[in-house]
Amino acid sequence: MCVAVLVSGVAMGQAPVAAPAAPVASGPAAEVQRSYAAVKKNILKSAELMPAESYSYKPEPDIRTFARVINHVSEAQFRSCGIANGAKDIAKPPAETADKAAIVEALKASFEECDKAYAALTDANVAEMFSLGQAKRSRIGLMWGNAAHDQEQYATLALYLRLKGLVPPSSEK
């Protein structure tokens, strides 16, 4: 009897076992959707984090401004995701000399366009082909190309933030 009391006392002192985590979706579509979701968060936070007066910042005279990098992301996303969505007219961001609010608004609109394109991506349609001028790309190639390009541009934005003494979103604690 003493052993049973001791064992039950030890068992009651144990922390409850956590429920297993929900399974993570897998497959080609889910992989690129996760990559896109992560970089989207970092780019949007970077755009918000940089002060308005620093949108014209560029580390060297012959390098793009922070605003131009943001607009470049918007342009590329409007184009890639617009093509995947079958858009007839591809939207354009404002001039890099526009105010921060206009530039961020265009960035958010480009992410809305991409949200639709990534939501439409399934393992069943990854091989669907799209025409880009004289070239052809698969849906998965178009989406991975966009996600990879966003990662590359985020690296530039993170560097600009660090040069301005700010911590990039991916390095926040």
Place of tokens 């936070």: 45
Across residues 166-172, what is the average pLDDT?
95
- pLDDT one-digit tens code per residue, 100-125: 999 999 999 999 999 999 999 999 99
Q: Would you state the pLDDT for residue 26?
A: 82
Q: Would you state the pLDDT for residue 132?
A: 81
Q: Which amino acid belongs to residue 39?
A: V
Across residues 11-23, what is the average pLDDT?
56
* Per-residue pLDDT band at 23 (split at 50, 70, 90): low
* Per-residue pLDDT band at 33 (split at 50, 70, 90): very high
Across residues 62-90, what is the average pLDDT?
96
Instruction: Say how far apart CA 152 and CA 16 lie, in whole Å.
Output: 43
* Per-residue pLDDT band at 20 (split at 50, 70, 90): low
* Per-residue pLDDT band at 24 (split at 50, 70, 90): low
Between residues 11 and 101, which one has the greater pLDDT?
101
- Judged against a pLDDT cut of 70, whether residue 12 lies above it is answered with no
Residues of the chain with pLDDT > 90: what percent?
A: 80
The phi, psi pair for 129, rounded to 5°, reads -100, 145
Measured between its terminal Cα atoms, the distance across the chain in Å is 50
Instruction: Say how far apart CA 63 and CA 21 lie, in whole Å.
Output: 45
Find the length of the chain: 173
Q: Would you state the pLDDT for residue 115?
A: 98
Q: Would you state the pLDDT for residue 98?
A: 96
Mean pLDDT of all residues belonging to the chain: 90
Show Cβ contacts of residue 55 under 8 Å, excluding neighbours closer than 6 positions. Answer: 65, 66, 67, 70, 96, 99, 100, 103
